[in-house]
Amino acid sequence: MALILLLLALIAIFVAIALVVLSVGTAVLNRKDVVRSLSAIEEMQISNEKRQLDLNSPFTDRVITPTLEKFTEWGKQFAPADQANRIRRRLDLAGNPPTWDPNRIVAFKVLGLIGGLILGLLLGLLFGSGLIAIIGLMIISSLAGYFGPNLALYQVGYNRTQQMAKDLPDALDLLTISVESGMAFDSAVSQVARNTTGPLAEEFFRLLQEMQIGLSRTEAIRAMGERSDIPELRNFASAMVQADRLGIPVANVLRVQAGEMRTKRSQRAEEMAQKVPVKILFPLVFCILPVLFIMILGPAAISIIGSFAGK
């Protein structure tokens, strides 16, 4: 009898423990389900908020920027390894426009390639050309679209370089006068940057900024010379670096450099004047002289033709 009661007690304890474990497990599972449901609801809310933010964002951020990034990835896969460095160099010559960077240039090259292919195909179909003509138009237009950004970047850099070469003698004169009047070199550079305009003023302002953020004057001047392809500006940077290294007075160097710049500007103007007759020869021969011949000999030719026709 005692043994039966002991077994019943053990069974009751086992059942109680099982019920407790089952209750705790059920509660834990219910809690996990609740947490999972709350997480799903939270993710839905986050996705809805993100979708709403995407819809409220500008069209440029939603469509144009991702498209350009995709074109950039395609362009980097097929472009040479040093293309980014060459584009960055061209951007330095162009003054680093705010909205231009190597990735965007690559994206526009790929976009121009695709747009050129489509344009060549449409033109060929529009004029009813043959298959070979359509393929030729597609090749020509795609090459023009691919190299168009490079040409535009080169033209901007060329115009900026020519303007800097034109303004450099006057800027050096002002810099020389400022230094000889007793101003420090940094103050003289600031004076030139404030009182001049154009790309050369931007370069002097950048020179001043680099010296203010901690670069030495030698490093800042050397960097300014490396950013440009103008021989006169490179010579000026080299002379200033050498003068700073050897302890030569800056005013003497600036005076010599300013005189050389004025002489080279006069020589450049004389050289351009001497090239004018050669440049005007082709328009004169192919455009002006034929018109003069038509105006002078045309009436005589008409009269002669009329006389022979009358006979």
Inform me whether the pLDDT recorded for 125 exceeds 50. yes
Rounded CA separation 81/270 (Å): 42
What number is the average pLDDT over the span 67-77?
Answer: 57
Q: Is residue 233 assigned to a domain? A: yes
Same domain, 168 and 249: yes
Kindly tell me if the per-residue pLDDT of 21 is higher than 60: no
Give the residue numbers spanning the domain of 94.
Answer: 64-161
Q: Are 103 and 125 in contact (CB under 8 A)?
A: no
Tokens 């995709």 correspond to what residue? 70
Q: Are 192 and 171 in contact (CB under 8 A)?
A: yes
Residues 157 and 167 in one domain: no
Instruction: Give pLDDT, residue 266.
Output: 85
Counting every residue written for the chain, the total comes to 311
- Final residue before a domain boundary, out of 138, 161, 184: 161
181 within some domain: yes
Query: pLDDT higher for 281 or 59?
Result: 281
Residues 6+ apart with CB under 8 A from 109: 75, 145, 146, 147, 148, 149, 150
Q: Please report, for residues 33, 234, 300, the alpha-carbon distance to residue 146 in angstroms, rounded to integers and kept in the order given.
A: 57, 32, 52
More confidently predicted of 306 and 194: 194
d(CA 170, CA 257): 11
Nearby residues of 90 by Cβ (< 8 Å), 6 or more positions away: 150, 153, 154, 157
168 and 254, same domain (yes or no):
yes
Q: What is the mean pLDDT of residues 151-165?
A: 88
Report the distance separating Cα 201 and Cα 33, nearest Å.
68
pLDDT at 11: 58
- Quick one: 173 and 231 in the same domain? yes
CA distance 152 to 130: 32
For residue 211, the domain's CATH number is: 1.20.81
Give yes or no: residues 178 and 235 share one domain: yes
Phi, then psi, of 22 in degrees rounded to 5:
-65, -40
Mean pLDDT of 80-104: 77
* 2 in any annotated domain: no
Residue 224, CB half-sphere, CA atoms under 13 Å: how many?
31
Is the residue at 180 inside a domain? Answer: yes
In a domain, 10, yes or no: no
Question: Last residue of a domain, which of 161, 181, 200?
Answer: 161
Distance of alpha carbon 56 from alpha carbon 133, whole angstroms: 46
| pLDDT (tens digit per residue) in 258-283 | 888 888 888 888 888 888 888 888 88
**Are residue 230 and residue 220 in the same domain, yes or no?**
yes
- Segment 187-222, tens digit of pLDDT: 888 888 888 888 888 888 888 888 888 888 888 888
How far CA 267 is from CA of 66, 103, 233, 287, in Å, comes to: 51, 40, 16, 31
**Residues 167 and 258 grouped into a single domain:** yes
The answer, as to whether pTM is greater than 0.85, is no
The yes-or-no verdict on residue 159 having pLDDT over 60 is yes
Give the whole-number percent of the chain exceeding pLDDT 90: 0
- Residue 269, domain member (yes or no): no
Residue 158 pLDDT exceeds 70: yes
Alpha-carbon distance of 45 to 48, in angstroms, equals: 5
Are 95 and 202 spatial neighbours (Cβ–Cβ below 8 Å)? Answer: yes
> Could you say which of 161, 193, 228 is where a domain stops?
161
Q: Compute the distance between CA of residue 296 and CA of residue 293 in angstroms, rounded to an integer.
A: 5
Q: What is the pLDDT of residues 114-123, one digit of tens each?
A: 888 888 888 8
Examine the domain organization and report whether 90 and 135 are in the same domain: yes
Does residue 310 fall inside a structural domain? no
Q: How many domains does the chain contain in total?
A: 2
Structure token pair of residue 229: 């392809």
- For residues 103 and 174, membership in a common domain is answered with no
Residue 29, pLDDT score: 47
Contacts of 251 (CB under 8 A, 6+ apart): 176, 179, 180
Domain assignment of residue 149, yes or no: yes
The CA-atom distances, in angstroms, between 302 and each of 272, 287, 291, 305, 307 are 43, 22, 16, 5, 9
Residue 72 sits in the same domain as residue 147: yes
- For residues 71 and 91, state if they share a domain: yes
Helix and strand numbers (H, E) in the chain are: 12, 0
Q: Are 66 and 58 spatial neighbours (Cβ–Cβ below 8 Å)?
A: no
Interior/surface letters 85-97, b for 16+ CB within 10 angstroms, e for the rest: eebebbbebbbee
The pLDDT value recorded for residue 16 is 54
Please tell me whether residues 124 and 114 are part of one structural domain: yes
Identify the pLDDT of residue 162. Answer: 87
